[in-house]
Amino acid sequence: MALVHYPVYNRRQEVVATAITNLDIHDIARAARTYGVESVLIVTPLERQRWLLDRILRHWQQGHGAKAHPNRSDALHEVHAMGTLDEAVEWVKVRCGQEPLTIATTARPFRQAVAYGVLRELLMAGTAPAVLLLGTGWGLSREVVDGASYVLRPIMEHGRYNHLSVRSAAAVILDRLMGDR
């Protein structure tokens, strides 16, 4: 999984880099671990944010957090910082020895979007590694969505209110793609 802080939209539809949210990292890492995701890649190009992220991860991977909350430490062990989305995809490619599929997620309707069941089968077949892209802020930029191998349909496509936090969306998407059935 990749949690993308750039390029994403802000509420005025401008492409921006969002700030890291401590609880995003924890919740998404725990969900990833629960559903058997191998790694969580936190994508941000901002130096100061990378520094903050390193501090958080070190606390939980090696510092006081590791002793006090072994379950959380466990989940955060496979969280890594990446400067760009390309770097994240390249990292997965090197690690898996194969070009990964990229799966974009969006709360907007998108003509080519695929159903969860379709992707679930594709992932279960295990023919290629895959990176699930989650956007912070007001979602992944159009360019990222257009460039992905697949785009997942919005979670509650026909609902009138569709403003899940990225933490909630991550959990629901993982459950639909990889949860017990």
HSE-up of 136 (CA within 13 Å, CB side)? 20
Q: Is 75 in the site for a second copy (CB under 8 A)?
A: yes
Select from 12, 36, 47, 125 the one that contacts a second copy (CB under 8 A): 36
Question: Applying CB under 8 A, does 167 fall inside the site for a second copy?
Answer: yes
Query: Is the preceding omega at residue 70 within 30 degrees of 0, hence cis?
Result: no
Report the distance separating Cα 146 and Cα 104, nearest Å: 9
Cβ neighbours of residue 67 under 8 Å, at least 6 residues apart?
A: none
Identity of the amino acid at 146? D
Q: How far apart are CA 173 and CA 44, in angstroms?
A: 22
Residue from 2, 25, 31, 119 binding a second copy (CB under 8 A): 31
30 counts as binding a second copy under rule CB under 8 A: yes
64 touching a second copy, by CB under 8 A: no
168 belongs to the binding site for a second copy (CB under 8 A): yes
Q: Does 12 bind a second copy (CB under 8 A)?
A: no
Residues in the site for a second copy, rule: CB under 8 A? 23, 26-27, 30-31, 33-36, 71-72, 74-75, 155-159, 161-165, 167-172, 175-176, 179-180
